[in-house]
Chains A and B, each alone.
Chain A
Amino acid sequence: MTTDRDTTRRVRSWLQTDQHESADRLLQAVLDAVDTTPQRRATKWPWRFPMTITASRFGLASALVAVAALIGLTVVAPNVPLPALGGPPATTAPTESGGILVYELGGVIYLADADGSDPTRVGDGYLQQTWMTGSVWSPDGRHFIYRDGDGTTQMSDAEGRVVASFASTFATSWSPDSTLLQGWTSDETRIAVYGIDGVLQASLALPEGYGRLYETEGVWAPDGRSVLVHIRQSDRGEAWELPIDGSAPRRLADDHPFARRSRAFSRDGRRVAYVVQPPEAPAPELVVANADGSDARTVARLAGPNDVAAAFLEWSPDGERLAYFMSRGGQIDLVVLEVATGTISTAVPEFSREGYPPFSWSSASDRLLFAAPGDGGDTSLWSVNVDGTGRRLLVEGSTWGAMSPASSTDASGDPPGEVVDATPSPTSTPSAAGVRPGASLIRIAGHDVSVVLPAAVAGQVPTDGDAGNHISLRNDVGSGWMVWYLYAPGGIVDPSRDTFMLPLPDDPVAWLRQLPGLTVLAERDIEVGGQPARLLDVSLPGESGAFVFVDVPTGDSGATRSFGVPGVGQSRYVIWRLGETWMVAQGHAVGIGALKTADAPGDPFMQFIADLRFP
């Protein structure tokens, strides 16, 4: 038996033993490259409108460009590289069944049709692999998550628009109802639960006396009300349930299905599969039971007598099949079990001799998506029928991808940022109880907001509602404030990162002030809904004192390019307390006289803020 000290000694010795190799050759190549490679400028364009990538924005973009042209300004391209459209040509075969494919290629995330065709770049980042570290797509197919180069988790909608960001978590997975995400915190001591607005909803502590999670991901309970974790304690595993309402963790009985090895719940939460090792059996066995543990039956043996079972069970979306690794004679096959009949077919023979390649199901439960080396030796993304036939190359060079579980366009549920009740009555529903006559009830990421819309934006509620964490209202150019945003409580766009950064820091005013490149032009105290609030007018130095970005659609893909229009705009932030968190409203001004106009009596943006109510 190796001791910890032995292990450390051997590892250190091994690491130090490797012979020295000089970097002289590659160093010269780098120095040669530097001769022709310019350095990046320190100041980046720190802002763009957080608008949707839709054809509907074309009108706004056109209007902005027109305004710039009218006042004699030149539209210039920003000095940051624009995202390339499309990925590499995918070698594909005929048709795949439905769904949207998200994949990573060289540290870049792409969205594509199910057969890998028509790729569109989403952003830099990596997908987590589903068989042990959580899920990529939400069960309703509306959103997916990936981790960017900085380790921040980005949430995107099914069209590739980033709608929220939150601190890095590990083994992140979606709740069964697609409204929450849970994952380890970076210090692996707590489970963080985020909403789809990117706001931290809960931070679940481990039971008292337990230091940290241990070698296991958290799993959503089938009802979505708690996260189940396995905690290793003195060489034995304990299963615990951490309720997301913050109530005390509960230890699960050792025969609880979740306490079993490799347990996996079906997507409808009704059944569970797990692995057991009966004392008399030559190899571990696969058991399927009801979610409560009843009606358990052994459905398969997982390995040959001398092999190690390698499970990683994945239910098909329809709950009819289980895919898993099976070790045979030292090789690892990817097999599919028909749960009803017990029939096992080999989808990918000799899948691997080392490690466990990622795989996932197609939305129609008829094919498997997997990553494996092709003829050239490089890993590519493939799909295959469950019986091993119809193997197709989807994306050459991609190391991982995931298929949306259902067509996002078919997904049910309310869109974010919607108008719930524009004409409330005295007998309105509880959610509309606080709506005043003449006001509309708008829901932002689950929060109800009652608004009275000034004439300037009447009939435009909301125009986008794209991110789920804000609503946007468009004015016309002449009134000074072009676009208004109302962020969900605790949320705001980080203008220095061109992305959503949620939740807001403890002191959002101070946070805003210190953002690189952002200059506060004016600042004063005001009142919003009886609460003290802070108003900041901001701009950027170095670009003629002001800026605005417009996003212009390019081609037919729906993607956009950003153009900076120096010298024509500014932003106004209004920040105030709402209960335990902060609210931020923001307006973009366009035009030389914007500030003056905005300060004028009856400014519609300020009137809009003053009229906000939170039922």
Chain B
Amino acid sequence: MDTELVVRAKRGDKEAYARLATDLADRFLAVSRRIVRDVDLAEDATQQALLSIWCDLPQLRDPARFEAWSYRLLLRACYAECRKQRRWSPNLRILPADEPATAAEFTSVVDRDLLEMAFRRLSFDHRAVVVLHHYLDLPLDRVADLLGVPVGTVNSRLHHAMRGMRAALDADARPAVQEAIQ
């Protein structure tokens, strides 16, 4: 991220901010979609995060920390959106069957449905770690930096999340809560 742009935007330069926001918007939307699992909520979260960046930039002390700081705003916005939605309702948005299957052998609607259901059972914190690590390919120390938590916590969350996903996939359509009440 161009630190000079951050400094200019921090001082109120709207053109500099527009360039920063343009750089971030698509990525933010992609990340938030994967976390909140709802296009509308993801758009709301992205919009809120981008606006928060503008409003709160003067309070960012170190421009070099802009990226981590901006992702934290995004995750906070996603969290707020997640809390608004019906957290336990099906609200599944199963991808249409004619959607391009760009990857691999596991893209059948059924498989996606299983993954979707399993993922929705994860807590927000767990989802965030999975997306940052497995979608953005960020190493765990970077994820920890973005989330503002120790690496050990990220490790732990990722472990729990993937274990939960595995349990759900193993159990086919069986609710994963069986694990939780053991």
Instruction: Name A's B-contacting residues (CB within 8 A).
Output: 1-2, 4, 7-24, 26-27, 29-31, 33-35, 37-42, 44, 104, 106-107, 126, 132, 149, 151, 186-189, 212, 215, 232, 237, 261-262, 275, 308-312, 327, 352-357, 373, 377-379, 399
Contacts and interface: CB of A to CB of B under 8 A. Distances in A.
A186 B88 contact: no
A344 B161 CA distance: 35
B68 interface: no
A23 B46 CA distance: 9
A15 B84 contact: no
Given A19-B100, A23-B26, 20 more contacts: A2-B166, A11-B162, A15-B130, A16-B102, A21-B39, A23-B29, A26-B29, A26-B47, A30-B50, A34-B54, A39-B12, A106-B83, A215-B182, A261-B181, A262-B181, A310-B177, A352-B88, A354-B90, A354-B175, A379-B87
A31 B101 contact: no
Contacts of A9: 106
B83 to A, nearest CB: 6
A149 B73 CA distance: 10
A300 to B, nearest CB: 15
17 contacts: A11-B119, A16-B103, A16-B135, A19-B100, A23-B29, A23-B46, A34-B18, A34-B54, A40-B56, A44-B59, A126-B83, A186-B149, A212-B156, A215-B182, A261-B181, A310-B177, A355-B88
A4 B167 CA distance: 10
Interface of B: 12, 14, 17-18, 21-22, 25-26, 28-30, 33-34, 39, 43, 46-47, 50-51, 54-59, 76, 80, 83-90, 95, 99-104, 106-107, 111-112, 115, 117, 119-121, 130-131, 134-135, 148-150, 152-153, 156, 160, 162, 165-166, 169-170, 174-175, 177-182
A37 B121 CA distance: 37
Nearest to A14: B115
A399 B54 contact: no
Given A8-B134, A186-B153, A310-B181, A18 B107 contact: no
Contact of B131 (A15, A151, A212, A353): A15
Contacts of A379: 84-87, 89
Nearest to B58: A42
A107 B150 contact: no
A373 B89 CA distance: 8
Nearest to A397: B84
B30 A20 contact: yes
A22 B26 contact: yes
B134 A12 contact: yes
Contact of B152 (A40, A189, A352): A189
B175 A11 contact: no
Contacts of B29: 21-23, 26
A356 B84 contact: no
A213 to B, nearest CB: 9
Nearest to A262: B181
A504 B131 CA distance: 35
Contact of A27 (B22, B76, B165, B181): B22
Contact of A14 (B58, B106, B166, B178): B106
B179 A215 contact: yes
B114 to A, nearest CB: 9
Residue of B101, B112, B179 with highest tally of chain A CB at under 10 A:
B112
B61 to A, nearest CB: 8
B115 A4 contact: no
Contacts of A189: 152
Interchain residue pairs A-B with the least CB separation, the first 8 = A355-B88, A23-B25, A7-B166, A42-B58, A23-B29, A15-B135, A187-B152, A27-B25
A39 B101 CA distance: 43
A37 B148 CA distance: 28
Nearest to A307: B175
Nearest to A325: B177
B113 to A, nearest CB: 10
B111 A7 contact: no
A30 B87 contact: no
B83 A149 contact: no
B51 A11 contact: no
Contacts of B50: 26-27, 30
Contacts of A104: 83
B106 A34 contact: no
B62 to A, nearest CB: 13
Contacts of B130: 11, 15
B47 A378 contact: no
A11 B80 contact: no
A17 B102 contact: yes
A11 B107 CA distance: 10
Given A354-B120, A399-B83, A13 B104 contact: yes
B181 A39 contact: no
A352 B30 CA distance: 29
Contacts of A30: 21, 25, 47, 50-51, 54
A18 B149 contact: no
B160 A41 contact: no
Contacts of A327: 175
Given A26-B25, A354-B117, A188 B162 contact: no
Nearest to B42: A21
Contact of B89 (A24, A126, A187, A352): A352
